[in-house]
Structure 1
Amino acid sequence: MPTLLDSKVESRRLVLPAQANAIRTAHGGNVLKWMEQTGSMSAMHFCSGEVITAGFDRSRFHNPIPEGDIALIDAYVYEVGTSSMTIRVRCFHENHTTGERSLTSDAKMVSVAVDEDGQSVDVPDLSVETEAGKRLQDEALNAEN
């Protein structure tokens, strides 16, 4: 049975001029795309199969990411249904010169496991075995409120 921490995925993106808006910060649409991709990778890793995005909710933007800096995106599965997985996705501004991170965006995402014909398939149960996993699950559940 996979654990919450088994599903945790991180990715980084350099904010280039082509991904920036008129005020030279990461364009929100690009940030959402990166978050959806990272969330999908977390779900794929958790269920060891293919997934489709069923929902992307409660997306919030807190702070900008300046052009030339790094977007660090993390995602993890914190709840499962029969064929669905609920994923917390967060994006951080990572200053490449200082290493400091600050939350810029977060969202709740739902993915469904599918077979090669696009039909839903069962996902494994989720195990939360460590204090770190429990803390992340609690944070995700509290973010829903």
Structure 2
Amino acid sequence: MPTLSDTRVQNRYRVQPNDANNYETLHGGELMKWMDELGAMAAMRFAGETCVTAGVDDFSFHRPVPVGEIALVEAYVYSAGRTSVTVRIRAWREDPRTGETERTTGASFTFVALGEEGGPVSVPELTVETDEERELRDEALEAEN
């Protein structure tokens, strides 16, 4: 059974002018796309199957990411159903010169695992073993409420 840590993925995106809105900050839709892609990677790592987005909950923008800075996105599976997985996805703005970060966004995405025939297939149970994994799971569950 996969652990929460096995599903944890992270990526960085340099915010370019073509990623920006009228305020010269990262367009929310572009960040949502990056979060969805990374969330699918975490879900597929967990399920061992292709996973597609079924829903988005608790999507909150806290602060912008200016052009020239980095959007740091992290995703991990924190809950599993019969054919679906729930992924917590968080984003930070990162100064490329100092590495200083500031939380910008949080969301929970639900993905459904699909088999070769294109229909939903079962996913394994999630294992949470370490204190860090428990803290991440608890934070994600708390964000749901």
With the length of structure 1 as denominator, give the TM-score of the two structures: 0.98
Distance 2:57 2:79 in 1: 15
Is 1:35 aligned to residue 35 of structure 2? yes
In the alignment, which residue of structure 1 is the partner of 2:132? 132
SS at match of 1:25: coil
In the alignment, which residue of structure 2 is the partner of 1:19? 19
5+ long unaligned stretches in structure 2: none
Misfit runs of 4+, over 6 Å: none
Distance 2:69 2:142 in 1: 29
In the alignment, which residue of structure 2 is the partner of 1:94? 94
Distance 2:142 2:19 in 1: 31
With the length of structure 2 as denominator, give the TM-score of the two structures: 0.98
Distance 1:117 1:132 in 2: 37
In the alignment, which residue of structure 2 is the partner of 1:103? 103
Question: What are the within-5 Å matches in structure 2 for residues 2-81 of structure 1?
Answer: 2-81=2-81
5+ long unaligned stretches in structure 1: none
What RMSD in Å do the two structures reach over aligned CA positions?
0.7
Number of aligned residues: 145
Over the matched positions of the two proteins, sequence identity in percent amounts to 48
In the alignment, which residue of structure 2 is the partner of 1:144? 144
**Deviation of the 1:117 alpha carbon:** 2.1
- Matching residue's letter, 2:69: D
SS at match of 2:108: strand
1:8-61 CA distance string (max 9 Å, x none):
010111100000011110000001000001100000111111011100111110
